[in-house]
Amino acid sequence: MKRTDIGGQAVIEGVMMRSEKGTALVVRRSDGTLAKEFHHQRTRYKKGSFPTWPVVRGVYAFIKALSDGMSITTRAAELLGEETEEPSKFEKWLAKRFNKSAMDVVKGVAILLAAVLAIGLFFLLPIGVISLLELIFGKMSPVWSAVVQGLVRLVIFLLYIYGISKIKDIKRVFMYHGAEHKTIACYEAELPMTPENAAKCTRLHPRCGTNYLFLTMAVSIVVTTVVSALCTLIPGFTAWHDASGLHSFLFRLARIVLILPIAGISYEVLKAAAKRDNLVCRIARAPGLALQHLTTKEPTEDMLEVAIASFELALHPPKGDLEFDEKPVPQKPEEPPAAETEGNRETDA
């Protein structure tokens, strides 16, 4: 069985595949044609350098996934030829102020709003729930607060995934997500890369981002609980923690800073669990694989064609960057040859 580090992301009517060589993006337009592009990896880190250290590399991967996700989704919409909304006056002002294109500003605003939503939904909301529970049942210890807050965050995450899986457009993205997984599984099973073979393969994959998100939630509970327990060993900490609502709130808010090392640790757990098949690794990846029954759906044959095209482009990239979406420059029709005349024939002779 082959192993590959190629991974991907489902987008609107398409699939992105990323290899160590670069990023391939393929989408199917409304007329049935495939729009493709490939961009070579610009930044390469030498093995043994700081960004490739264990845990640290996970932090880099986490930040890159956040920064690239919105750009890839926006680019997929552009390849489809979908019209984008006119930038607002404020966005145009920002573009002029920071000497950026209006589209770059729109992307930046979208990423900022997504980050604010994520922090509000998965960090501030659990803190609010804990505060409400403490009003009802009394003050919790720092350790129990960390455990309950982590469980609340996990429940919110599961409800969020379940809720969006019911949206029609998101369901199609989840079908492309299934096509992405089946394509990688087909390659790793050493089968010919055809939609028929890929359709027979599993749509659950141990290196999926769903597994990563779930592991991040689980590792977050463990890390914040351990940190909270260690903090209680500091003389006077518990009294300071219980002194006022502000101190307790600030302590909980400080846990947000832990998200980066937690992301790094989760990345290492994910990599280890995907490479090995012992009992511990199977247990570690089981919840994430189960969750993929929600985040992936059975794809159609044409979706598998898109995923395979993206995978092949990432596996065998062109020498330079390619953007196939650009409309060809229309060529002037050739002028018909001039009719022969007596003068023509004499000159030719």
**66 or 295, which is more confident:** 295
77 vs 82: CA distance, rounded Å: 6
Q: Is the pLDDT assigned to residue 331 strictly greater than 90?
A: no
**25 or 78, which is more confident:** 25
Q: Is the pLDDT assigned to residue 135 strictly greater than 50?
A: yes
Task: Give the pLDDT of residue 333.
Answer: 45
Task: Give the pLDDT of residue 343.
Answer: 38
Task: Give the pLDDT of residue 14.
Answer: 96
Asked if 28 and 13 touch (Cβ cutoff 8 Å), the reply is: yes
Task: Give the pLDDT of residue 250.
Answer: 64
**138 or 28, which is more confident:** 28
140 vs 195: CA distance, rounded Å: 54
| pLDDT, tens digit (0-9, with 9 covering 90-100), for 226-275 | 888 887 787 766 666 665 555 566 666 666 777 888 888 989 888 888 88
**328 or 164, which is more confident:** 164
Task: Give the pLDDT of residue 213.
Answer: 87
323 vs 290: CA distance, rounded Å: 37
Band (pLDDT 50/70/90 cuts) for residue 9 is very high
Sheet holding 322-323, edge to edge: 7-11, 14-19, 22-28, 34-40, 322-323
Task: Give the pLDDT of residue 71.
Answer: 80
Q: Is the pLDDT assigned to residue 340 strictly greater than 50?
A: no
What is the value of pTM for the model shown?
A: 0.78
27 vs 58: CA distance, rounded Å: 28
